[in-house]
C-alpha cells in the first residue's frame, strides 16, 4: 500500500476513553497512539466521556497542543454529533479508533463514523459487531469447523427477571458443559467481570453475586458460561494492512498474579509472563498460525486481529475469543509480537492509519480530494 501524497501532514484524530468499563485501558492505548504518530502526522486526541459526550481540544499535538495527556482534555463534552462535526469542520482525514469495549469495538462507533462520513481505522461495522459478541463468535467458529470450549448462555431478559435458579441451571447444563465453569459478560472485553467457578457449591453461592457486580453498561448483556479448559494459553496476531495477511509470532501467556489471564494479570506490569515467540514445536507453531489465519479470514478482520486459544495436551486447539481492536499499551500483546517480527510500533500504527484511509478512498471522497 502506497502512502498518500499530500502537501500537508495527514490529520489524524485519536478516539479514546469511551463509555465502557475499559475506558482507562482505552485512554492508555490512545496515549500510546498519539505519542507514536505525532512525529508523522498532525494528531488530535479526542476523548469520549462515560456519558457519551466528546471532548475535542483545539489544535494538534506539537502544534499548539502539549504532548502531555493531562493537558489535552478539560471542561464539559459536546454531543457526539457535534464532536464529529467539529472534526469534519477541521478537515480530519481519518479517525484512529483506540476505543475498547461496548460502544467502541462492537460496531456502534464504526456505524456512526460511516454515517457522518469520517474514515476510521480498525474493523468495519459487521466484523466488529460479530466478534464482540462471544456467543455469536463461538457459533460461527463451530460452523467453520474451528474448535471452541463448550458453552451455553443465560439470556439478558432472564437475568433481569430476578435471581437465576442456579440449581436448575446446573441440573440442565452440567452434563453437557462440565465444571469448572468460566462465567463472563457476553460483550465485554479485557476480562472485565470474568470469574472461574470450580464446583456446584461455588456456582450456587457466587454466580448471582458475580452478575450483580457487572459494570452498568453490561447490565443488559447476556451471561456466557463455558467450560474451563486446562492447557497452554496462546494468542496469535494477524496483520492485514498491505495485501496478504501476515501472521505475527505467537505468544504464550503464563499469569503470575491470578489463576487465569484476568484484568489484573493483563494490565499490571509483571502480572503475567508473556513468552514471544511461544516455545512451540514446528508442527504446533504451524497449527497455531493456521488457526489464527482461518479465524481472521472467517470474520474478515482486516486490518488486525488477535486470536486467543488454548493448546490442549491432546494437541487440540480451542479458540476462546477474537479481538479486532487489541490494546496498544506498554503491556499489550500485539506490540510485543510486532516487535519480534521486526515491526516498530510507530510503523505498525502508521500502516493501520493508511489502511483506514485506503478503505475509504472512494471516487470523489475526501481522501481522494486531499
- DSSP code string of 263-306: HHHHHSTTSEEEESS----HHHHHHHHHHHHHHHHHTT-TTEEE
Residues 310 and 202 in one domain: no
Residues 141 and 266 in one domain: yes
CA pair distance 266, 253, nearest whole angstrom: 10
Is 178 among the domain residues? yes
CA pair distance 341, 249, nearest whole angstrom: 7
Residues 113 and 138 in one domain: no
Residues 205 and 297 in one domain: no
Domain around 221:
151-227
Higher pLDDT, 158 or 272: 158
Is 333 among the domain residues? no
pLDDT interval class at 1 (50, 70, 90)? very low
Residues 208 and 306 in one domain: no
Query: pLDDT tens for residues 251-297?
Result: 999 876 656 555 455 545 566 799 999 999 999 999 999 999 999 99
Q: 319: domain CATH number?
A: 3.30.470.20
pLDDT interval class at 163 (50, 70, 90)? confident
Residues 29 and 75 in one domain: yes
pTM value? 0.88
CA pair distance 259, 329, nearest whole angstrom: 23
Q: What is the pLDDT of residue 329?
A: 81
49 has a pLDDT exceeding 80: yes
Residues 157 and 174 in one domain: yes
Residues 20 and 112 in one domain: yes
Q: 96: domain CATH number?
A: 3.40.50.20
117 has a pLDDT exceeding 60: yes
Residues 139 and 159 in one domain: no
Which residue among 176, 204, 227 closes a domain?
A: 227
Query: pLDDT tens for residues 11-31?
Result: 999 999 999 888 999 999 999
Is 195 among the domain residues? yes
- DSSP code string of 51-73: TS-EE--SSEETBEE-S-GGGT-
Average the pLDDT over each of 105-119, 198-212, 255-269, 303-317 and give the range with the smallest value. Answer: 255-269
CA pair distance 311, 206, nearest whole angstrom: 29
Q: 203: domain CATH number?
A: 3.30.1490.20
**Average predicted confidence (pLDDT) for the chain:** 89
Is 63 among the domain residues? yes
Is 338 among the domain residues? no
Contacts of 122 (CB under 8 A, 6+ apart): 97, 105, 110, 128, 303, 304, 324, 325, 352, 356
Count how many domains the chain has.
Answer: 3
Which residue among 227, 246, 263 closes a domain?
A: 227
Residues 141 and 238 in one domain: yes
Residues 39 and 78 in one domain: yes
Secondary structure of 227-275 in HEC code, one letter for each residue: ECCCCEEEEEEEECCCCCCEECCCEEEEECCCCCCCHHHHHCCCCEEEE
Residues 77 and 111 in one domain: yes
Q: What is the pLDDT of residue 269?
A: 55
Query: pLDDT tens for residues 205-230?
Result: 999 888 888 766 666 789 999 999 99
Is 5 among the domain residues? no
Tell me, rounded to whole angstroms, the distance of Cα 49 from its chain centroid: 18
What mean pLDDT is predicted for residues 72-87? 94
Q: What is the pLDDT of residue 20?
A: 87
CA pair distance 181, 198, nearest whole angstrom: 6
Amino acid at each position: 500500500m502506497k502512502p498518500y501524497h499530500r502537501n500537508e501532514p495527514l490529520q489524524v484524530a485519536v478516539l479514546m476513553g469511551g463509555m465502557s468499563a475499559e475506558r482507562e485501558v482505552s485512554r492508555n492505548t490512545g496515549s500510546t497512539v498519539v505519542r507514536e504518530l505525532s512525529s508523522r502526522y498532525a494528531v488530535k486526541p479526542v476523548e469520549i466521556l462515560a456519558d457519551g459526550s466528546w471532548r475535542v481540544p483545539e489544535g494538534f499535538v506539537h502544534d499548539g497542543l502539549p504532548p502531555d495527556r493531562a493537558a489535552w482534555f478539560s471542561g464539559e463534552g459536546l454531543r457526539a454529533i457535534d464532536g464529529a462535526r467539529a472534526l469534519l469542520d477541521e478537515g480530519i482525514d481519518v479517525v484512529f479508533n483506540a476505543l475498547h469495549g461496548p460502544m467502541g469495538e462492537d460496531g456502534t462507533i464504526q456505524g456512526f463514523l460511516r454515517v457522518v462520513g469520517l474514515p476510521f481505522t480498525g474493523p468495519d461495522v459487521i466484523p466488529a459487531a460479530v466478534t464482540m459478541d462471544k456467543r455469536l463468535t463461538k457459533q460461527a467458529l463451530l460452523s467453520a469447523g474451528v474448535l471452541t470450549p463448550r458453552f451455553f448462555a443465560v439470556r439478558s431478559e432472564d437475568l433481569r427477571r430476578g435471581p437465576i435458579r442456579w440449581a436448575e441451571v446446573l441440573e440442565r447444563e452440567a452434563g453437557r458443559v462440565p465444571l469448572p465453569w468460566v462465567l463472563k459478560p457476553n460483550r465485554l472485553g479485557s476480562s472485565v467481570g470474568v470469574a472461574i467457578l470450580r464446583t456446584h457449591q461455588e456456582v450456587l453461592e457466587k454466580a448471582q453475586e458475580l452478575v450483580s457486580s457487572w459494570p452498568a453498561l453490561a447490565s443488559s448483556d447476556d451471561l456466557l458460561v463455558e467450560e474451563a479448559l486446562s492447557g497452554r494459553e496462546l494468542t496469535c496476531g494477524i496483520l492485514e494492512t498491505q495485501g496478504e495477511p501476515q501472521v505475527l509470532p505467537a505468544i504464550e501467556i503464563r499469569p503470575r498474579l491470578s489463576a487465569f489471564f484476568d484484568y489484573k494479570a493483563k494490565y499490571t506490569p509483571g502480572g503475567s509472563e508473556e513468552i514471544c515467540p511461544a516455545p512451540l514445536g514446528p508442527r504446533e507453531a504451524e497449527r497455531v498460525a493456521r488457526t489464527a489465519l482461518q479465524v481472521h479470514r472467517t470474520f474478515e478482520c482486516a486490518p488486525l486481529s488477535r486470536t486467543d486459544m488454548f493448546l490442549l495436551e491432546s494437541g487440540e486447539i480451542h479458540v476462546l475469543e477474537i479481538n479486532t481492536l487489541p490494546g496498544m499499551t506498554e503491556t499489550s500483546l500485539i506490540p510485543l509480537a510486532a516487535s519480534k517480527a521486526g515491526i516498530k510500533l510507530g510503523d505498525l500504527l502508521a500502516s493501520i492509519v493508511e489502511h483506514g484511509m485506503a478503505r475509504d478512498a472512494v471516487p470523489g471522497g475526501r481522501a481522494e480530494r486531499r
